[in-house]
Chain A
Amino acid sequence: GAVVSQHPSWVICKSGTSVKIECRSLDFQATTMFWYRQFPKQSLMLMATSNEGSKATYEQGVEKDKFLINHASLTLSTLTVTSAHPEDSSFYICSAIPGGTGGTAYGYTFGSGTRLTVV
């Protein structure tokens, strides 16, 4: 089945630094990838939709200058948390849809997630 690889699985960084999270589709091409954030005991909140070769679409309330998304190839999307602060500590998870799903999200595949802790 479709596999989405996400790295790192966890990261600790100092306040004010930047952290990059990578999401790769291993056995399919993903023209679109999605980035979610999940705070403890809460649901997954869609942050942005990443489209290969174009600018990401951000959800309302998500700062595009703080959460930089790059989707330079059909298999790789990156999320960079810039000038991280403790309140950015969260579980970040990406997802992608393999092709041929008939215009639905059937087959939505999640990465393994990244636990970010900002100290």
Chain B
Amino acid sequence: GENVEQHPSTLSVQEGDSAVIKCTYSDSASNYFPWYKQELGKRPQLIIDIRSNVGEKKDQRIAVTLNKTAKHFSLHITETQPEDSAVYFCAASIYDMRFGAGTRLTVKP
């Protein structure tokens, strides 16, 4: 089955800096790659996603890149703000969804 690895597990940046989280996946058939932000005790919130026929997608300060050949995808957050502090999960999917281990992002004011 699909195996998703995510790095780093924790990331601390200064407000205004950029943050990058990277994920790799194992199943070349995976065709959908979402990123989620999760607050403690709540459901994951979709922040951006990309399908396998697209290499890059951007939404304001957030962008995702996908390299199908290397089977990795990354989340880029620019101009980070304290409210970006949360746990972020990547996922890869054919139909069911498999999650990475998560990254705890801390943005210091």
Interface of A toward B, CB cutoff 8 Å: 32, 34, 42-46, 49, 59, 91, 93, 95, 97, 103-106, 108, 110-113, 115
Q: What 1/0 mask marks residues of chain B from 49 to 64 whose CB sits below 8 Å from any chain A CB?
A: 1010000000000000
Q: Could you give 11 example pairs across A and B, Cβ below 8 Å?
A: A34-B96, A43-B99, A43-B101, A44-B99, A97-B95, A104-B94, A104-B95, A105-B95, A108-B93, A110-B44, A113-B42
Residues of B within 8 A of A (CB-CB), count:
22
Residues of B75-109 at the interface with A, using a CB-CB cut-off of 8 Å, are: 89, 93-102
- Are A46 and B32 also in contact (CB < 8 A) when A110-B43, A115-B41 are? no
| Chain B neighbourhood of A115, CB < 8 A | 41
- In the assembled complex, the Cα of A79 lies from the Cα of B108 at a distance in Å of 40
Residues on the B chain within 8 Å of A106, using CB:
32, 49, 51
B interface SS class: loop
Task: Contacts A111-B43, A112-B42, A113-B42 given; indicate if A105 touches B99 (C-beta within 8 A).
Answer: no
Q: Within the complex, what minimum Cβ distance (angstroms) separates A63 from chain B?
A: 18
A42 to B32, CA, bound (A): 22
Expressed in whole angstroms, the minimum distance between the Cβ of B31 and any Cβ of chain A is 5
| Contact residues in B for A97 (Cβ distance below 8 Å) | 95
Instruction: Give the distance to chain A from B44, nearest Cβ to Cβ, in Å.
Output: 6
- Complex partner residue of B43 from A49, A59, A112, CB under 8 angstroms: A112
CB atoms of A105 and B97 under 8 A apart:
yes
The 8 closest A-B pairs by CB, nearest first: A105-B93, A110-B43, A104-B32, A43-B99, A44-B99, A105-B32, A43-B101, A43-B102
Q: Which residues of the other chain, B, contact A111 by a CB distance below 8 angstroms?
A: 43
Distance in angstroms between the alpha carbons of A43 and B96 in the assembled complex: 15
Q: How far is the CB of B45 from chain A (nearest CB, A)?
A: 9
Residues of chain A with a CB closer than 8 A to B98's CB: 46
Closest chain B residue, CB of each to CB of A101:
B32
By a CB distance below 8 angstroms, the chain A residues around B95 are 32, 97, 103-105
